[in-house]
Amino acid sequence: MAENSKIGWTHHTMNYWWGCNKVSAECQHCYIDGIMRRAGRVPFGGPIRTVDWSKPFKWERQAKEQGRRFRVFTCSMSDFFHPGADEWRSEAWEVIRQCPNLDWLVLTKRPELIELIKDRLPADWGDGYPHVWLGVTCGIASSLHRLDTLKSIPAALRWVSAEPLLGPIDFRPYLDGSINWIITGCERAGVGKRREMDLAWVRDIDQQCRDSGIAHFFKQRYEGGRIVHDGLLDGEVRQAWPSSPHSELV
């Protein structure tokens, strides 16, 4: 279980900054809205740098002591490649560089900004840091262009968050080895706001993954008014992770 969240596919979350701006349909009922408002912050006015960046070093020590790798979801409360965080990102990359026994799960809705300004990646990025998984959000077919961009960016492992899943999506053109992992899940929002997820869409994506040998993680669904995280799809748990490219401890 994550230290700072209830996200089932990660061990920890690390937010170098909070706050974002809405850019697509998936953002309409973004969960950071309520969290930041309760903290007295403006959720969609752009990033605000956080203060404590020390936790990754603790997790790095624990990984070595326990002989295991930890997954760290990076910027769950923002977007790692938000242009408003350009001045801080090089420092964040340095933390990531110093913690090679953590698998950093970096997710963005703005992959085109990586191409636009190359120094949004570290100078020594090369073919990708082996402990950084680079992903994009694509919960609706109109966001598939992000996968075209993602494929063009060197990365050790590429993944997709289809959460919230808002309609049927054909990922098959991208399941040729370019994408290693797909996460699906419903939208977390109040009754009346929540856009419903059809399990038929999840079944179809699950079959696409099975046919292509791609890991699929079914994160969450609603049963009535209750959200369920058990990953059950037609009586079978469908919660798999890809193998880390950096499987050995450093």
For residue range 83-133, what is the model confidence (pLDDT) as tens digits?
999 999 999 999 999 999 999 999 999 999 997 677 899 999 999 999 999
Amino acid at 208: Q
CA neighbor of 54 nearest in space, from 6, 110, 12, 85: 12
- What are the structural domains of the chain? 12-237 (3.20.20)
Interval 206-210 mean pLDDT: 98
pLDDT in the model for residue 5: 53
- Number of residues in the chain: 250
Q: Across the chain, what does the average pLDDT equal?
A: 94
Least confident of 147-156, 185-194, 237-246: 185-194
**Burial class (CB within 10 angstroms; exposed 0-12, middle 13-18, buried 19+) of 21:** middle
pLDDT in the model for residue 246: 82
Whole-model pTM: value is: 0.94
CA neighbor of 104 nearest in space, from 250, 1, 245: 245
Query: In the structure, what pLDDT confidence band is assigned to residue 190 with cuts at 50, 70 and 90?
Result: confident
pLDDT in the model for residue 247: 76
pLDDT in the model for residue 2: 43
CA neighbor of 71 nearest in space, from 221, 227, 217: 217
